[in-house]
Structure 1
Amino acid sequence: MKIVVPMAGRGSRLRPHTLTVPKPLIPVGGKPIVHRLVEDIAKTSADKVTEIGFIIGDFGKEVEQELLAVAETLGAKGKIFYQEEALGTAHAVLCAEEMLDGPVVVAFADTLFRADFTMSPDVDGVLWVKQIDDPSAFGVVKLDAEGTITDFVEKPKEFVSDLAMIGIYYFKEAEKLRTELKYLIDNNIIKGGEYQLPDALRRLTEKGTKFKPGEVNEWLDCGNKAVTVFTNQRVLEFDKDKQLVSDKATINNSVIIPPCYIGDGAVIKNSVIGPHVSVGAATKISGSVIVNSIIQKEAEITNANIKDSMIGNKAAVLKQASDISIGDFTTID
Structure 2
Amino acid sequence: MAGRGTRLRPHSITVPKPLVAVAGKPIVARLVEDLAKACPEPIDEIAFIIGDFGEQVEEDLKALAQSLGAKGSIYQQTEKLGTAHAILCAKESLQGPVIVAFADTLFQSNFKLNMEEDGLIWVKKVADPSAYGVVKLDQEGYVTDFVEKPSTFVSDLAIVGIYYFQSAENLEKELQYLVDNNIMDRGEYQLTNALENMKTKGLKFSTSRIDEWLDCGNKKAVVHANQRVLEIKEDAAQIASDLQQSNSVVIPPCFIGEGVVLENAVVGPHASIGKGSLIRNSIVQNSLIQENSQVEDAVLRDTMLGAYVKYKGQAQALSLGDYSEYSC
TM-score norm. by structure 2 comes to 0.97
The secondary structure found in structure 2 opposite 1:199 is helix
Q: Distance in 2 between matches of 1:170 and 1:161?
A: 21
1:4 matched to which residue of 2?
A: none
Residue 212 (structure 1) shift: 0.3
Is the 8 Å Cα contact of residues 230 and 237 (structure 2) preserved in structure 1? no
Distance 1:226 1:58, change over 3 A: same
Q: Distance in 2 between matches of 1:302 and 1:295?
A: 13
1:270 paired with 2:258, answer no
1:144 paired with 2:128, answer no
1:28 matched to which residue of 2?
A: 22
1:161 paired with 2:161, answer no
Is the 8 Å Cα contact of residues 116 and 215 (structure 1) preserved in structure 2? no
Residue 248 (structure 1) shift: 2.7
Aligned pair partner of 2:114 in 109, 120, 124: 120
1:49 paired with 2:50, answer no
Aligned pair partner of 1:38 in 18, 27, 32: 32
Q: Distance in 1 between matches of 2:232 and 2:177?
A: 42
TM-score norm. by structure 1 comes to 0.96
Aligned pair partner of 1:18 in 8, 12, 21: 12
2:281 matched to which residue of 1?
A: 287
2:227 matched to which residue of 1?
A: 233
Is the 8 Å Cα contact of residues 240 and 258 (structure 1) preserved in structure 2? no
Is the 8 Å Cα contact of residues 126 and 212 (structure 1) preserved in structure 2? yes
Residue 161 (structure 1) shift: 1.4
1:64 matched to which residue of 2?
A: 58
2:126 matched to which residue of 1?
A: 132
Residue 246 (structure 1) shift: 0.7
1:329 paired with 2:308, answer no
Q: Deviations over 1:49-78 (max 9, x none)?
A: 111000000101111111111111111111
CA RMSD of aligned residues (A): 1.2
Residue 242 (structure 1) shift: 6.3
Is the 8 Å Cα contact of residues 19 and 27 (structure 2) preserved in structure 1? yes
1:91 matched to which residue of 2?
A: 85
Distance 1:239 1:251, change over 3 A: farther
Q: Distance in 2 between matches of 1:331 and 1:161?
A: 47
1:254 paired with 2:252, answer no
Amino acid in the other structure paired with 1:131: K
1:314 matched to which residue of 2?
A: 308
Is the 8 Å Cα contact of residues 253 and 269 (structure 1) preserved in structure 2? yes
1:192 matched to which residue of 2?
A: 186
2:103 matched to which residue of 1?
A: 109
Q: Deviations over 1:112-140 (max 9, x none)?
A: 01124522243111001111111112111
Residue 41 (structure 1) shift: 0.6
Q: Distance in 1 between matches of 2:8 and 2:236?
A: 28
Q: Deviations over 1:241-300 (max 9, x none)?
A: 766001133222210000110111111111010000000011111111110000001111
The secondary structure found in structure 2 opposite 1:106 is strand
2:205 matched to which residue of 1?
A: 211
Q: Distance in 2 between matches of 1:54 and 1:121?
A: 22
Amino acid in the other structure paired with 1:29: A
Aligned pair partner of 2:72 in 73, 78, 82: 78
What is the percentage of aligned positions where both structures have the same residue? Answer: 55
Is the 8 Å Cα contact of residues 246 and 262 (structure 1) preserved in structure 2? yes
Amino acid in the other structure paired with 1:74: L
Q: Distance in 1 between matches of 2:234 and 2:176?
A: 45
1:223 matched to which residue of 2?
A: 217
The secondary structure found in structure 2 opposite 1:271 is strand
Q: Deviations over 1:141-170 (max 9, x none)?
A: 111111111221111222221111110000
Q: Distance in 2 between matches of 1:72 and 1:122?
A: 26
Amino acid in the other structure paired with 1:201: L
Amino acid in the other structure paired with 1:235: V
The secondary structure found in structure 2 opposite 1:287 is strand
Residue 230 (structure 1) shift: 0.7
Q: Distance in 1 between matches of 2:177 and 2:233?
A: 43
> Structure 2 regions of 5+ residues with no counterpart?
none
Amino acid in the other structure paired with 1:57: G
Distance 1:276 1:240, change over 3 A: farther
